[in-house]
């Protein structure tokens, strides 16, 4: 049987057999225990309980030569299926190749009333060594782990603002608290010792810009694996490239294509306890700065009969710290991913986005997005209609056999299903 055809227990058993899931983690996922009250109170204000979302895995991933099943948290049925579908086709071409050139987090110290910027910049430059010391003394544990202050920049902003940018190595953490702690310490030092006249620190805080947290993932897919029963692979590839080119020219389409990419990226981010708001902010700024409409680029090589995909984006994430350490499910997700380094996790997340992108574009230029989407969405439709227990699967199958399905039809089918059951019981 295929992985998606197994029961939940059978999937957990298979992951245990593959050595990516421990017996304890499998039992936790099977029992789904609630978080401790103390954990809930510590994580949010005015705690009321938990808001649950499904956790699943996408299979078929080969990234930098290593096989993965990728944990994903999402409420949309087609997202995991699309990721698995795209990854399977990419694996036939050798898999994804990823690179992370640098990983630095920025903190900003914003200074007002700077009337002579050249003099201000010179004063900051003269005390760079002291700033490094203040920064590292503010968070010595990050220095012990090989991170901390990397370098600084000084920028003039408008007529009387200046920015001192502190670039920090957060190692495996996202580093928000790290950046804020260091920024405030350096700001206090500057205010007390370096600023003159009316110059004053306005704020000291991290930036979510992500410009030095870029990851690139690439793949090469033989066009033959894109074929459908009715459409040749080369035709599918040509259409796919054309649609991607249109997205680069048209912001409306680019926005939707980006959403498909983020379906995968955000699902992995949620599964690993990462901050979607930080990711959204960094990716938005990246697109504006690069003046591009869509994150991915697809190109066709007619001579080699291959389709090449490339995706570059900032991923402001961590593999330790904060909610990542507090949430048992996030720890299990990292276990399933074989405890990746932060660079590996960035590559996994980006590759999942590109896999979703490939699957979505292929569907759009062949059968259309709605057919496959609605087949998977029919379970939600059954639940909305009021189906419970075994009724959900039965009604889902009936809806999938229908050429058209909506809530009214689902309710009518459910009533027929229940009437049939009542009549059968009466006959007995």
Active site residues: 76, 259, 275, 373
Q: Kindly calculate the radius of gyration of the chain based on its CA atoms and give it in whole angstroms.
A: 26
Tokens 């991170």 sit on residue: 147
Alpha helices in 155-215 (DSSP H): 176-193
Candidates 62, 107, 362, 55; CA nearest to 217 is: 62
The whole-angstrom separation of Cα 289 and Cα 50 is 38
**Cβ distance 339 to 194 under 8 Å?**
no
Q: Is 297 exposed, middle or buried (0-12, 13-18, 19+ CB in 10 A)?
A: middle
Residue with tokens 């379906």: 263
Q: Provide the 3-class DSSP secondary structure of residue 35.
A: coil
CB 195 within 8 A of CB 115: no
DSSP string, 295-346: SEEEEEETTTTEEEEEEEEE----SBSTHHHH-HHHHHHHHHTTS--HHHHH
Strands, E, within 76-116: which ranges? Answer: 97-100, 105-112
Whether the CB-CB separation of 138 and 181 falls below 8 Å is answered with yes
Q: How far apart (Å, rounded) are the C-alpha atoms in residues 235 and 274?
A: 39
Decide if 350 contacts 98 (C-beta within 8 A).
yes
Alpha-carbon distance of 55 to 332, in angstroms, equals 11
The strand order across the sheet containing 105-112 reads 148-157, 161-169, 105-112, 200-207
Instruction: Tally Cβ neighbours within 10 Å of residue 385.
Output: 21
State the Cα–Cα distance between residues 145 and 182, nearest whole angstrom. Answer: 16
The DSSP call for residue 18 is: T
């Amino acid at each position: 049987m295929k992985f998606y055809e197994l029961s939940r227990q059978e999937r957990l058993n298979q992951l245990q057999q593959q050595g990516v899931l421990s017996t304890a983690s499998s039992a936790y996922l099977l029992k789904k225990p609630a978080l401790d009250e103390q954990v809930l109170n510590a994580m949010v204000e005015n705690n009321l309980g938990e808001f649950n979302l499904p956790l699943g895995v996408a299979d078929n991933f080969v990234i930098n030569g290593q096989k993965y099943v990728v944990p994903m948290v999402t409420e949309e049925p087609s997202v995991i299926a699309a990721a698995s579908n795209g990854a399977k086709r990419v694996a036939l071409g050798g898999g994804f190749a990823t690179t992370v050139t640098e990983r630095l987090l920025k903190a900003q110290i914003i200074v007002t009333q700077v009337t002579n910027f050249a003099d201000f910049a010179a004063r900051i430059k003269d005390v760079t060594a002291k700033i490094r010391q203040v920064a590292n003394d503010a968070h010595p544990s990050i220095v012990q782990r090989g991170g901390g202050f990397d370098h600084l920049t000084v920028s003039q902003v408008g007529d009387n603002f200046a920015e001192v940018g502190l670039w920090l190595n957060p190692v495996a953490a996202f580093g928000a608290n790290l950046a804020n702690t260091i920024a405030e310490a350096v700001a206090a030092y500057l205010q007390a010792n370096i600023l003159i006249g009316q110059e004053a620190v306005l704020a000291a805080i991290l930036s979510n810009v992500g410009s030095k947290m870029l990851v690139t993932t690439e793949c090469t897919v033989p066009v033959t694996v894109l074929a459908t029963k009715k459409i040749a692979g080369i035709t599918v590839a040509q259409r796919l490239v054309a649609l991607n080119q249109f997205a680069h020219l048209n912001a409306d389409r680019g926005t939707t294509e980006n959403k498909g990419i983020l379906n995968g990226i955000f699902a992995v981010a949620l599964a690993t306890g990462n901050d979607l708001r930080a990711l959204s902010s960094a990716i938005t700024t990246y697109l504006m700065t690069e003046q591009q409409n869509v994150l991915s680029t697809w190109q066709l090589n007619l001579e080699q009969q291959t389709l090449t995909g490339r995706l570059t984006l900032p991923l402001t994430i961590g593999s330790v710290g904060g909610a990542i350490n507090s949430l048992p499910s996030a720890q299990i997700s990292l276990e399933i991913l074989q405890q990746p380094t932060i660079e590996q996790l960035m590559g996994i997340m980006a590759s999942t986005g590109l896999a979703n992108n490939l699957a979505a574009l292929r569907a759009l230029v062949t059968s259309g997005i709605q057919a496959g989407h609605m087949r998977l969405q029919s379970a939600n439709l059954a639940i909305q209609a009021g189906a419970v227990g075994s009724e959900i699967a039965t009604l889902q199958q009936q809806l999938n056999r229908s050429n058209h399905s909506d809530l009214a039809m689902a309710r009518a089918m459910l009533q027929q299903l229940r009437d049939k059951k009542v009549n059968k019981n009466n006959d007995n």
